[in-house]
Amino acid sequence: MDLSRTAARRSATISLLAFMFSMPLVACSKTVGVLSTDVDGGAGLGPEAQAEDGMGASDGEPGIDPETGLPYDPAAGGFVMGPNGELIAPATMADAGGSDSVPGGAGSGGTAGTGSPPRTDPWVPPFDEASLGEDGWKDSQGTLCTEGTTYVTSRDLWSDERGVYVLVGGFNDGDGAFMIDPSGATRCEGGGCSAHAVYFNDGSGWHQTFSEGGFIDFTESSIDGMPGGPLVLWSSFSAGPDPFGGAGSCALAHLDGSTKTCISGVDQMADFFGVSADRAYGIMDDKLIRWDGSYWGPEPTAVPYDISRLWADDTLVYGAGPRGTIVSYQGEWTVHDTRTLQSFTAIWGFAADDVWAGTDGGELLHYDGSSWERVSWPLQQDGCNNGIRGMWGAGGVLYLHTSTQLLRYSGGSFESLASWACGANGGSPAIQKIWGNAADELFLALEDPSFAGSACGSVFAVYFDGSKFHPF
């Protein structure tokens, strides 16, 4: 199945794992303090990770570079993993950090593009000063601190009436433990140690509620949920049980309290959408799978085309995918004529006859129940990737975003709420996800690569109250 969202990352993952699995391993661990585990999401305990021994990069053989902790293959030109999990050539990393041992590689815990020590100054959001409010959300005054993950591969956010959940995943650079397990043990001190952690804020402050580690995880994982029901962790790629004795991985799992439950039979997911505690949907290969409150199972008819984005309500499902594909399902599949060949990267609806979809090329389309029409909108033209990356809406108010622009559609017109210039090689802050609880309670997850390796990491949460942005 050719899924536009996952194909490139999956290919890179397979290439990396192919040479990594042949390398000798050593185990390492470190004890640190225990964090709170008393909120929904629960502590997930994973065994110690195992790490590469650092050989290879210095002796001309494939391996893990001892300074960066990144996969390195001299024979292949010394490829490394980019800041968003993509496989890129060293020459393109000139402005994204560097080390002496990997030309153009991400600096060993340093600031992007400089090789300098990690930043210690406070993060300044990339919004206009006039649109910034005081830090905080409800009674939460502190800002998110994700324990300084050096190389981030997952950054995601979801919310409901219980609060806000942020998922951060990645691996460290070999300079020390990077993500704390509620059990008190970190994954590893050496290079190639990875973990995913969930942070929760109910309006009183951030707590890490779940952490699980294992061998290096190059795949992007996501957090979603069913309003009032379990949280869901899902991934576009799963290699099955961790062959190195780590916690293993599964492509779809429920987080309910302190319990993580892997859903058997799911080896990859393209997208997930939760409607309620007893209704949710996922895309697995050519199947639309549905949660009925007790069990997951497939809908009886296969999806007619590749789809990688979902939106659903109590009565129907819309799916969008590559090369202009949009389909809907209400007992049977309907294929829509979108009159575009661009790939859809976002979809959101308010009703069967009020659905929006955006493409990787920046096209915005609206469906009124009879036809899809292009809609003009104030796209920022700055030479960056201006594709629409996500949408969320409530009460007829639609929010959509690119990497460096957030907009709101209400009352028949668009308003650009925030925009900023992008840096070379993705070196500027980027909006990774938006989600909300109401039109005046929107949450954003941003990543600022210049803070990679800093004490609280490079992933930040921001609350928008309808008029002002508040880091929290």
**Per-residue pLDDT tens for 150-193?**
567 789 999 999 999 999 987 655 443 433 333 334 444 444 45
pLDDT, residue 186, reads: 41
Mean local confidence (pLDDT), 56-82: 45
As a whole number of angstroms, the distance between CA 455 and CA 471 comes to 17
Asked whether residue 251 is assigned to any structural domain, the reply reads yes
Which residues constitute the domain of residue 320?
134-471
Q: Round the CA-based radius of gyration of the chain to a whole number and report it.
A: 21
| Confidence tier at 212 by pLDDT (50, 70, 90) | confident
Tokens read off for 224: 């979603």
Q: Which residue has the higher pLDDT, 143 or 173?
A: 143
Q: Is residue 74 part of a domain?
A: no
Compute the distance between CA of residue 228 and CA of residue 147 in angstroms, rounded to an integer: 28
* pLDDT digit string, tens, across residues 224-243: 999 999 999 998 865 454 43
pLDDT at 97 over 50: no
Of the chain, the end-to-end C-alpha distance in Å amounts to: 39
Distance of CA 167 to the CA centre of its chain: 7
Q: Is residue 107 part of a domain?
A: no
Query: Per-residue pLDDT averaged across 87-93, rounded?
Result: 37
Does residue 111 sit within a domain?
no
pLDDT higher at 260 or 272:
272
The answer for residues whose C-beta is within 8 angstroms of residue 163's C-beta and 6 or more apart is 39, 200, 201, 202, 203
Q: Please report where in the chains the tokens 């049980």 appear, as a residue.
A: 241
- At 11 the pLDDT is 42
- Write the single-letter amino acid at 420: W
Q: Where are the beta strands (DSSP E) in 161-304?
A: 163-171, 194-201, 206-214, 221-225, 231-235, 252-256, 259-262, 271-276, 279-284, 287-291, 296-298
Query: DSSP labels for 191-207?
Result: SS-EEEEEEEESSS-EE
| Alpha-carbon distance values, 31 to 23, 129, 171, 192, 318 (Å) | 26, 42, 18, 18, 47
- Within a domain: 12: no
- Residue 171 inside a domain? The answer is yes
What sign does the dihedral 170-176-179-182 (CA atoms) show?
A: positive
Distance in angstroms (rounded) separating the CA atoms of residues 315 and 364? 24
What's the domain count of the chain? 1
* pLDDT exceeds 50 at position 403: yes
The candidate with the shortest Cα–Cα distance to 232, out of 277, 193, 182, is: 277
Report if residue 53 sits inside a domain. no
Residue 203 lies in a domain: yes
pTM of the predicted structure, to 2 decimals: 0.75
Torsion angles phi and psi, residue 72, rounded to 5: -145, 130
If one compares 268 and 214, the residue with the highest pLDDT of the two is 268
What confidence category does residue 372 fall into, taking pLDDT thresholds of 50, 70 and 90?
very high
Residues in CB range of 320: below 8 A, 6 or more apart: 307, 308, 309, 310, 326, 344, 346, 347, 357
Model confidence at 360: pLDDT above 70: yes
What does the DSSP 8-state code read for residue 186? B
Q: What is the CATH number of the domain that holds 419?
A: 2.130.10.10
